[in-house]
């Protein structure tokens, strides 16, 4: 789990994005970034390719961490 420069990926988000990729029906290959929603005012990654697979981020740091921050 990382939070560097406004980019965070919770365990739950990683599972959801992987499941969307495995279940996608479009076939082929794609380079897809997965990330949780960035906090307000902080930019994030381009998630449009992941959204094309059906992934939509839900968690915002520190949500989804297995411990308290």
Predicted pLDDT at 5: 61
- Output phi, psi for 16, to 5 deg: -65, -45
pLDDT of residue 19: 95
Question: Given this model, what pLDDT does residue 64 score?
Answer: 64
Place of tokens 């059906």: 54
Return the C-alpha torsion angle 34, 17, 1, 43, nearest 10.
30
The model scores a pTM over 0.85: no
Residues of the chain under the 50 pLDDT cut = 1-3
The pLDDT value recorded for residue 30 is 83
Dihedrals phi, psi of 37, to nearest 5 degrees: -65, 135
Q: What is the structure's pLDDT at 18?
A: 94
Rounded to whole angstroms, what are the CA distances from 62 to 9, 34, 52, 58? 10, 16, 26, 12
Q: What is the pLDDT, as a whole number, of residue 1?
A: 44
């Amino acid at each position: 789990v990382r939070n560097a420069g406004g980019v965070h990926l919770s365990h739950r988000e990683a599972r959801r994005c992987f499941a969307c990729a495995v279940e996608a029906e479009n076939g082929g290959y794609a380079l897809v970034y997965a990330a949780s929603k960035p906090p307000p005012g902080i930019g994030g990654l381009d998630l449009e390719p992941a959204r094309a697979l059906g992934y939509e981020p839900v968690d915002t740091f520190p949500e989804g961490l297995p411990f308290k921050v």
